[in-house]
Amino acid sequence: MRSEGERPAWVAWTDMGVVDYRKAWQLQEALLDSLKTDSLKTEEDPAHEVGYLLLVEHPHVYTLGRNGQLNNMLASAAQLQERGAELIRVNRGGDVTYHGPGQLVAYPIVRLDRLGIGVKEYVHRLEEVVIRTAGAYGLAGERMEKATGVWLATGTPAARKVCAVGVRCSHAVTMHGFALNVSTDMAYFSYINPCGFADKGVTSLEKETGQKVSMDSVKALVLRHFAAVFAVELREVTHEIQHLR
């Protein structure tokens, strides 16, 4: 707990809009390396900087985690090409998932030692950010045992995932993050067993509410809850990040 008058830890964030998956991955790796070595300094409060939060959307792409099973990818390369998508093997945890338009992807690249938490608690807090965000739309987001992410109707045959979570941690610095389905075209999930589950469904905020959901509103909620759940101050910046793009 901070003592009275102590300056808060803070996270620099930026909204990158629609970004190719590989470019976002490359930027994450650069930011991770900079935090590991403390080579990327900012002009104010460097000692209180925890890291970065990138908000993005991706063109159609499937990613397979380092321990994922290729047989959970149900489409051939030709079928993916027809749909304007591709499959990329990545270095996060988890199995196969989909990213595409209408899905908000959040990539926190943060130093867990400065947050004072471990990986398990970090994932728990990421899920909490999404649970609170979903709650703003009247949805009861839940965790499911032995399955990361945020789910609806757990413990029932109608269990379905609204947000996937997959992270990597190197020398106490994180990358990758979570993917929240806002207005996602759910047909793209029919080409995979999402996160390795053949018997569980996927859903989106729009599908559950039956209403149009503003991506900007979801971003604002995610930022607010991220700041509260991680007890950090968020500062919108671009200059430290732009030169690494």
Residue 3 lies in a domain: no
CA pair distance 156, 210, nearest whole angstrom: 21
Residue type, 77: A
Q: Is 164 left (phi over 0), alpha (psi -120 to 50) or beta?
A: beta
pLDDT in tens, 217-243: 999 999 999 999 999 999 998 765 655
Residue 4 lies in a domain: no
We report the CATH number of the domain holding residue 190 as: 3.30.930.10
Tokens of 66: 């380092």
* Catalytic residue positions, numbered: 195
pLDDT in tens, 63-97: 988 888 888 888 888 888 888 998 989 888 778 88
pTM: 0.89
Looking at the DSSP bridge assignments, the partners of residue 116 are none
Which stretches in the chain have pLDDT values below 70? Answer: 1-7, 38-48, 194-199, 239-245
Instruction: Give the residue numbers spanning the domain of 158.
Output: 10-242
Residue 1 lies in a domain: no
**pLDDT at residue 71, as a whole number:** 85
**pLDDT at residue 192, as a whole number:** 79
**pLDDT at residue 146, as a whole number:** 81
Asked if residues 159 and 147 have their Cβ atoms less than 8 Å apart, the reply is no
**pLDDT at residue 193, as a whole number:** 77
Distances (CA, A) of 198 to 72, 122, 163, 171: 8, 27, 16, 34
**pLDDT at residue 245, as a whole number:** 46
Residue 114 lies in a domain: yes
Q: Which residues, other chains included, contact 124 with Cβ-Cβ below 8 Å and sequence gap of 6+?
A: 143
Q: Name the domain count of the chain.
A: 1
